[in-house]
Amino acid sequence: MSKEMPEVGDLVVVTVKEVQNYGAIVQLDEYPGVSGFIHIAEVATGWIKHIKDFVRVNQRTVCKVLNADPNRRHVDLSLKRVNEHQKREKIEEWKNDQKSYKLLEIVAKEANINDNNKIKNIEEYLISEYGSVYDAFFDAASSKDFMDGKEEPWKDVFIKVSKENISIPMVKIGGEIDMYSLAPNGIELVKNALDIESSDNVEITYAGSPKYRISVTDEDYKSAEERLKNILEIVSSRCKKNNMSFSFTRDEQ
């Protein structure tokens, strides 16, 4: 964690430690030693008969910082000013941060880095370059250009640990090809037109003459679109060359 205290307006992950009639006392999971208080007026909208209907001891949730006192290491919080979408996103971000720092420990161990100051320097570099340690791991797992032009003794280990532990979400796009030939060897022409280099990322299946399904899977839409475009250009060119009918209908997103 790069900051010792959150700022007003920040969303923070908290764990409820005590529930009282007038509010809840919490600890901030991202900021060691920082406590917080949620006044009953900031727990939920409308009249609250029983505060324990909304918060309970050991509950983990997301709050918005209303006031922050660095001297007391204490913040005033609101639960009702955080919607469900913000809560899900913040919890996911927090989980990713927790995972990333555990992975950074693995990197340090495998790279034989025992100096805490060096580990801190690596952390600060990753945050400055990639926004967060998790984003750095994600980039290393998905990009061939991670830390391009910069050599560090821990770089290869970092990439290795990233690829072993970070799952890259894949996108899938595709559609339906309608193609046929009236030539005597039409079946062979169709097969040749669809003869695309085998790949785990591309699938072409028979959907009942004259229709065929094509799908492309990749790490992002831009790469998938480019791959699909290139394949369709190849198939279309072969069809045109052999006077075959060809059309493509894209799946609705």
Asked whether residue 3 is domain-assigned, the answer is no
What residues make up the domain containing 217?
171-250
The last residue of one of the domains, among 165, 200, 216, is 165
What CATH number should be reported for the domain holding residue 102? 1.10.150.190
- If asked whether residues 177 and 138 sit together in one domain, one would say no
Task: Please say if the pLDDT value at position 246 is more than 90.
Answer: yes
Task: Give a yes or no: residue 221 inside a domain.
Answer: yes
Q: Which of 107, 133, 165 is the last residue of a domain?
A: 165
Q: Return the CATH number at 224.
A: 3.30.70.1130
DSSP string, 22-39: TEEEEEETTSTT-EEEEE
- pLDDT above 80 (res 14): yes
153 and 189: one domain?
A: no
- Has residue 5 been placed in a domain? no
Asked if 89 and 76 sit in the same domain, the reply is: no
In a domain? residue 182: yes
185: in domain: yes
Distance CA 94, CA 12 (A): 9
Give the pLDDT confidence score for residue 167 in this predicted structure: 85
Could you read off the pLDDT of 217-229 as tens digits, one per residue? Answer: 887 788 889 989 9
Residues 89 and 159 in one domain: yes
pLDDT value, residue 221: 82
pLDDT of residue 2: 55
pTM greater than 0.75 (yes/no): no
- 101 and 74 inside one domain: no
Strand partners, 249: 176
Which amino acid makes up residue 25? I
Last residue within a domain, chosen from 130, 165, 200: 165
Strand-pair partners of 218:
171
pLDDT in the model for residue 3: 75
Q: 73: left (phi > 0), else alpha (psi -120 to 50), else beta?
A: left
Question: 10 Å Cβ neighbour count for 50?
Answer: 7
Is residue 6 a part of any domain in this protein? no
**Are 156 and 175 in a shared domain?**
no
* In a domain? residue 4: no
Structural domain count, the chain: 3
In a domain, 105, yes or no: yes
Task: Report, as an integer, the average pLDDT of 88-109.
Answer: 95
